[in-house]
Structure 1
């Protein structure tokens, strides 16, 4: 009976968020219905995989890794997809959107758990479980806010981060507390505090890869500091992560021609996956007419096994199939391959060319036919950085990372890119550092909470 009551309460918890007509942050669930009260209840709330392990995905539509045809664009099922693909000013056409709502559901659930834990008396036998649940809630809140600030705020720039608006940071489940936008600096500080508090509470690895662990905390901190251009901190946390898990897959050991080449990390052993998460579901990612950019596809040479493992011929182009989820969803979690690339980039930028090339060659060598990869060498740091960033794009395709890289690298003239697309005879252009790299906040949130809208 208790389990039934808990499941019913969880359903009721979700009800306030099912409306698409009202402000998400302004919804006021009946707190009397929120009955999770034990550690197992709190853990069950955090184990809601479809909510807690999902990330924004419109940035995958907007980036330049893929293109679609006129017919493919017309067949997209939401205005947000069509408009994001063309970088239009009005993305949502007055509709709400899951890229905003889902991360804030994660924040709300995490806050429900954290508020509940504060009221819980813990016996010594439960202390470890209590620590794991609390550390997980802190991680989920930080993970959500990191994804939100990447989507809905300007890129971190030390010169402007204390002036430009970040996102609403919610530290309580009480929705009567007004939501306001702090600065980008304040947003990042809140995220980092949560992760620093989570690290000592979590075990090094998790029983299930859908749950956070200390290795995941270090991986996320390395991503955050990379986006902040704090390369020494990013390097330190990447190293801390790889000290706990440095496993890589030798692509010679998988069936690269299979429709799903990689083992599903939730039921099998994908040893590179540290924390499992997926991009929100949009028709763009599933469509047969969504093709890998031809210029990107041509960069993979014939001995690069990623060319077979990641792509399949379809119609006039190549579809992406190389997701680390092992299913139709696109992987957007944390994995060791990305951490090797973060560390390599930081090492180049900090003038440790030997370390950078070592990490780069360790990773890329396992992506080539055995014996066919000549270790990359150079004495030029600029050339090394170009190579690392090229391999980053080749390795992380399909994970939603490219848009964030475009944002941060547009601030560096040698890597700034102008994007162009043509649909139904009309050409669309996105210039470096355009305001349209920052997604607008849904209109209902602006109206209900008086938030400052992002200029488009």
Structure 2
């Protein structure tokens, strides 16, 4: 799916852009949906277009803001304060006028309607086998289930339709979340599991294991523990996936087609086909260019400094045992120009910056031939010390390296080519482990989690990383999910579904703690949507906004 068809979408009242026209080679005439989507090529192009919305959420700043910040493990960095601080802070300025929530709402509904179009029309297509017809429907329903999952998790009761929008509609509904799960998301994903091929026809295409993995996530979210465990265990045991070891190799950009990624959103190095690109490389890194021996380069990235790890996140790693610390965070930078630091000459290749996770006396830092940025346990959002994590107006901190993209063609390029992992095998172990614990099977839960912790162990520390059944509780599960899945767009959902969002944000995210309320368990509905609805009495803003 590196190639996507080019769509001319019509903008409808609900943001449900029906693909009424598709760009074809003949510039004189544009085919209609009625004439084109009933052909084998037309329905295949329509299906490809159903994947396009994925690139509006995954690997994009808006998607990160709505899933990463405002949690216990990330707050605003320097760039976060300058861009959308209200989302993390749950401030009174977080309203339906937010461009972030509007962009994601509109994109997801464009995706829903494109999927509806394919599902509604595929049965009328002639010239394809019944098997392929079922597979096309299953791919579209897999995607529709994913889009609706994001919609209900973010906004709660939302407009729900399984029919294609073909004209201007001004009446909107607020369908209860449970109804959307029972009549939309679950049937869609169950159909996908039953009808998708075992092997994806192309990288990035939906296939059976991806559908089982997503359905396991959904079943965990709605509390169907036994089914969540069964589905996750099936992905673990009945395919050829394997955990990648060492953990750091997961994030080697030359190792994207690895044995652990179950399903990824595809990006490419071809600028004509890459859409917005994966811009995740921008947001989690600090501005190393303040160091005199460093200038911006492609290896270290373009630092937008949006997301700052919290003190709580730092506390989760046993850095003597757990390789996920060094496998997730960059803490050493090497000079790429000649300069002087603390009176010492520094040349390219020499250490320029070293972040250490313990206090270092200022006199030691001031004498070192490189910057030492230390950690004293002070709240990272309010640090004035010399070269301490959080200083330089929240610019100095360990940088998440999962999304770095050193293969970008230029130092200022924002459209990265790295694929975004939506489902990976490690998550299946975490789902199976949590679901087993929920069923009071602590021994089974520990077994699943210990597989992950064995992979995560620094060589020789495997035994020390094991946990006993009695160690498993909700706090431990959330800690393990943070260590394993940091930055991968799970955390806000994890805290919401476990009923811990308010408690954990108040305890660990001091920027958000004073403001977060029960109302923040859902996002504000875009004001543009409220204004467009012709039935405002039935379609109102979420309470409190």
| In 2: Cα distance, 1:50 partner to 1:26 partner | 14
Normalising by structure 2, we get a TM-score of 0.67
Partner of 1:128: 131
1:114-141 CA-to-partner distances (Å, cap 9, x unmatched) read: 1221221245xx3332222111001011
The number of equivalent residue pairs is: 412
Partner of 1:336: 425
Partner of 2:436: 347
Partner of 1:88: 91
Q: 1:386 to 1:59 in 2, by over 3 A?
A: closer
Partner of 2:216: 222
Q: 1:186 aligns with which of 161, 179, 185?
A: 179
Partner of 2:69: 61
Q: 1:367 to 1:209 in 2, by over 3 A?
A: farther
- The 3-state SS of whatever aligns with 1:88 is coil
Of structures 1 and 2, the larger Rg is shown by 2
Q: 2:316 aligns with which of 265, 280, 299?
A: 299
Q: Which has the higher helix share?
A: 1
- The 3-state SS of whatever aligns with 1:67 is strand
Partner of 2:114: 109
- The 3-state SS of whatever aligns with 1:139 is helix
Partner of 2:205: 211
Structure 1 position 301, deviation (Å)? 1.9
Q: 1:187 to 1:113 in 2, by over 3 A?
A: same
CA contact (8 A) 1:114 1:134 kept: yes
The yes-or-no answer on 1:418 pairing with 2:506 is: yes
The yes-or-no answer on 1:202 pairing with 2:192 is: no
| In 1: Cα distance, 2:479 partner to 2:213 partner | 21
| In 2: Cα distance, 1:250 partner to 1:274 partner | 12
- The 3-state SS of whatever aligns with 1:47 is helix
Partner of 1:161: none
| In 2: Cα distance, 1:298 partner to 1:199 partner | 39
Structure 1 position 53, deviation (Å)? 5.0
Partner of 1:453: 541
| In 2: Cα distance, 1:455 partner to 1:383 partner | 36
- Greater Cα offset, 56-65 or 441-450: 56-65
| In 1: Cα distance, 2:330 partner to 2:98 partner | 37
- The 3-state SS of whatever aligns with 1:441 is coil
Q: 2:399 aligns with which of 286, 295, 319?
A: 319
- Structure 2 residue runs of 5 or longer lacking an equivalent are 22-30, 58-62, 267-276, 285-302, 332-354, 356-394, 407-415
- The 3-state SS of whatever aligns with 1:143 is helix
Normalising by structure 1, we get a TM-score of 0.80
- The 3-state SS of whatever aligns with 1:429 is coil
Q: 1:37 to 1:121 in 2, by over 3 A?
A: closer
CA contact (8 A) 2:16 2:112 kept: no
Q: CA RMSD in A?
A: 3.3
- Structure 1 residue runs of 5 or longer lacking an equivalent are 1-5, 154-165
- The 3-state SS of whatever aligns with 2:69 is helix
| In 2: Cα distance, 1:106 partner to 1:333 partner | 17
